[in-house]
Structure 1
């Protein structure tokens, strides 16, 4: 559903993307992770037609995003990081405007609104002004809006930023339901546990290059099953072990303060880049 081939982008002296290639299958939930400035936003801007690449090409649903922008955009829905709903309009009015922009028939817009408000749990908020919704409700409305025209690909850019853990989990459940209904999901997030929980595959990008790409489980297994964080003066060193018994033996030999825990995706990223994800 998404194909990137040697994608490059230059901003004067800055090379934001340095030959990024990847393929996202139809119906896959794909997480695209990296530190600030790694190239995530540039990639999404190119995929959504907001920025022209300097080299290579990008396809959405088989359509070149640069040569066939209208056809490519028909396949995609976008939920940006920042709330961009019209706060002075109702929930329903925001959705109607989106449907009209996509030239949907009035009867189809009404039918889709009925379906989607139930889908995201906002049936009772149909006539409420957006400015009176909670943060979690606004996020769900943005997802409903992005799905209104039946896209094959949904881009989610930091969809749970600023939400409390309970609301974040509710959004996670909604995202999985969207995938199960056949939509390809392309997710960027700074919440590493979000990608670990949701994604079928994960790509780590750093300084404009893909540095690791695989399933979360395989990436973590490449380091080991267990980790020990050893605390030293002004520093912490992490060591990885294939099983808990190996970790236990190491801990017995080193009496410094330590924490024994499971390996996670942040360990993978730190190993490849030496940087924090957020």
Structure 2
């Protein structure tokens, strides 16, 4: 019991003395007088192993939820493992954390963004609600979950004029750097929301889906008058996104997490205004 119940002050002095002198050979080969108790070392190793196992279980659970509920498959060798491994030894305010997570950037010039937004306005508000419009699109086009999530991701970036800097990490992104200015939300109302949704959905369907409907059928479903008009809308949306259309499972998973936080904050804001 003498090795276990070592006086803390005495142990501290010995450790500091050992650090000051420095080992001349590997630490495992040095025999110190009254070394750290073996029993404590074993306990610390068990705690470390338990922490690693807990981390592994969390990542596997995240992958399972992604596959079953969100329909976003994550490969067994997904980089999500290395993401969490790198963050395990970081503090939330460290520079390394920002390097791993990345940040948003302002996408295009504010004036150009405003001009492009004007392309999505209708002369008057449609009689159909946004919910009914989405139900109609879902019923007649049957888009996949991945297509809808991608369209929502494009719509979010379009409205807030943002682009992400990291495409291989599920860690939430930081706000844009201060020198880029504040995030400005574009006006969204009943006159432009339908075409904004349509433009984002059209791009996501072309990227994700392999279903091929005739252009006229698309126009009929979404309420466009002709094909050239729909093509101009697609081009306007591509310019709004500055052709940043790359998408993968990391981007979608991160977007779901961040959008849930965004939705929660918006609900709290509206509740406080009542």
Q: Give yes or no for TM over 0.5.
A: no
- The structure with the larger Rg is 2
Normalised to the residue count of structure 1, the TM-score between the two structures is: 0.24
Higher strand share: 1
Normalised to the residue count of structure 2, the TM-score between the two structures is: 0.25
